[in-house]
Structure 1
């Protein structure tokens, strides 16, 4: 199978945390850089890609992707339907990927690409069904954390309880997942390697509105996905100038006095090469501290690449 991968040195969990703490201290005790180190990824203050290169971001996403449900949402009256986000994403991909239902033995083993994989939760969940999964993220620290999870299957993280009070928790890949099926690489979704092999399934979860050039990524998808393969776009459409210049937004603005919606722009951009086969709402939950959370509801659009399946 012609997958392009880059092996990132697998830093252990302790080394990873020490490295991020050192970087955090090196930024100084005040100023904008220090504020970014302390900012939750749930903040709407922007920060661009640098917002995901902090220890706090790694901790929040380890819990978001791998944390035990009782750690992420301990309250009986909380939105429990928003838990297990990465597992539900993988199920959506599995449901619509026809390559997984080919039993003739004439096709190569199914492949999946998780673009914007963060710390790898959905990549590992995809490995339940796909023999070959590649997770790609722009954040070096996220990829380091994903590699640590692959190497050990678990990683400690800090969860903010209140103010400076934190608890040490454990993130773990489910034991029934074959971690050897997954590889990770650092890369730019807006400038993917030209020799990346076409995939049977591409997942881009909560990625689109965090890209500086979302249209560039979408245009690349035609050659990134095999005919008959699926593109699963999942996004809350949270367009912010801190991540994407306004003239690059796919929606959330007015043109000639009329609102432009991301869904409509996606239809216009993708319909020449893809058929829209499914749409559903996918809630998610990110914990900021013991009594504050970000509840979001992304729209999942499943697109099937036109053409005869290979």
Structure 2
């Protein structure tokens, strides 16, 4: 991914994603207008994507592109061990602080230069000791990381320079019978991914390209739409619709 120009190392995006992951509905979107259905996306990814009844009691989970960690913590409700990996050192530092302290301060942008200081707290019923965070490149995951009963990659694919590097590695990361859960809005941008590396014949049909890359090692079990809302300031929000899909490792 991008190095010194990586926007995900900026404090602006760090604060934005802390709010996206951990702030309450009222703190993010205090309106009765449409948009509330798209809140809590990182939590929904973790709890709505996998089928936990099919996981073993000692399940291992890998959260790729974990950002500041909310999905990883939610997975810990059902998995004995969760490893969260993100390319941004700033994000990993924030996630690790949440793991150690159970809370993290954030600055919410309201209007112009006006901000609100928030103290974001994790649900105390979550066993934080089950979660470990590490900085890493999803295209070059360390060889000794092992296999997992569940791998989650939310809104990651279209931010990788070479998404096929990850997709080719997934069969060895997911145990036979294990689950893979992916969400992506397929927002292909040249600044992240050269058009030659867009899935689905130059993004003519990105999901077909994803399916082709994963089969025959994975069987598609379900696909659906998942909206998500990112607050920029009090009156500007990014409303996007990710395509969610759950796969079973053959």
Shorter chain as normaliser: what TM range? over 0.9
Q: Is the counterpart of residue 84 in structure 1 residue 40 in structure 2?
A: yes
Among candidates 172, 179, 186, match of residue 237 of structure 1: 186
Instruction: Please state if 1:298 is matched with 2:242.
Output: yes
> Is 2:200–2:210's contact at 8 Å kept on the other side of the alignment?
no
Against the structure 1 CA distance between its residues 54 and 252, is the aligned structure 2 distance closer, same or farther, given a 3 Å change threshold?
farther
Partner in structure 1 of residue 173 of structure 2: 224
| Secondary structure of residue in 2 paired with 1:195 | helix
Q: Is the 8 A contact 1:288 1:294 kept in 2?
A: yes
Deviation string 1:33-70 (CA, Å, 9 cap, x unpaired) is xxxxxxxxxxxxx9996110011111011100001110
- The unaligned stretches of length 5 or more in structure 1 are 1-45, 103-108, 254-258
Aligned length: 249
Output the TM-score relative to the length of structure 2.
0.95
Uncovered stretches (5+) of structure 2, i.e. residues with no partner: none
Looking at structure 1, the residues matched to 242 and 176 of structure 2 have their Cα atoms a distance apart, in angstroms, of: 26
* 1:160-179 to 2 correspondences below 5 Å: 160-179=109-128
Q: CA deviation at 1:96?
A: 5.6
Q: Within the alignment, does 1:248 sit opposite 2:197 as a pair?
A: yes
Q: Give the deviation of 1:260 after TM superposition.
A: 2.2
The counterpart of 1:57, out of the listed 2, 5, 13, is: 13
1:133 aligns with 2:82: yes
1:185 is aligned to 134
Q: Is the 8 A contact 2:98 2:104 kept in 1?
A: yes
Change (3 A) 1:140 1:163: same
CA distance in 2, matches of 1:128, 1:52: 27
Decide which of 146, 149, 156 is 1:207's aligned counterpart: 156
- What do the CA deviations read for 1:211-248 (whole angstroms, capped 9, x no partner)? 01100000000000000001111000000000011111
Q: Indicate if the aligned counterparts of 1:47 and 1:242 stay in contact, CA closer than 8 A.
A: no
Is the CA contact (8 Å cut-off) linking 1:49 and 1:139 kept in structure 2? no
SS in 1 for 2:31: coil
- Which among 50, 66, 69 is matched to residue 25 of structure 2? 69
Question: How far does residue 167 in structure 1 lie from its aligned partner after superposition?
Answer: 0.9
Instruction: Report the RMSD for the aligned CA atoms in angstroms.
Output: 1.7
Where has structure 1 moved over 4 Å in runs of 4 or more?
46-49
| 1:239–1:252 contact (8 Å) kept in structure 2 | no
SS at match of 2:169: helix
1:78 CA drift (Å): 3.3
Q: Which has the higher strand share?
A: 2
